[in-house]
Amino acid sequence: MFTVTTKLYHKDVYAPDVIFRSPGVVRLRYSRHAEDAAFDDRYGDLTCYLTPYMDFDTAEIVEVELDVEGQICKRVARFQVEEDLVLVVVASADGFVRTVWGNLVTDRHKTLDRRKYVQPPRRPALCPVMAAA
This prediction's pTM:
0.87
Instruction: Return the half-sphere exposure (C-beta side, CA atoms, 13 A cut-off) of residue 55.
Output: 4
Residue 123 lies in a domain: no
Give me the average pLDDT of each 10-residue run along the chain (133 residues): 81 94 98 99 98 98 96 98 98 98 87 91 70 55
Contact 87, 78 (CB under 8 A): yes
Residue 122 lies in a domain: no
Q: Quick one: pLDDT at residue 128?
A: 64
Range of the domain at 47: 7-105
Residue 110 lies in a domain: no
Rounded-to-integer distance, Cα 39 and Cα 5, Å: 33
SS3 111: coil
Residue 127 lies in a domain: no
Contact 28, 54 (CB under 8 A): yes
Closest CA to 89 of 117, 66, 116, 55: 55
Total number of domains constituting the chain: 1
Q: Quick one: pLDDT at residue 14?
A: 94
Residue 121 lies in a domain: no
Q: Quick one: pLDDT at residue 127?
A: 63
Q: Quick one: pLDDT at residue 111?
A: 82
Name the DSSP class of 48.
G
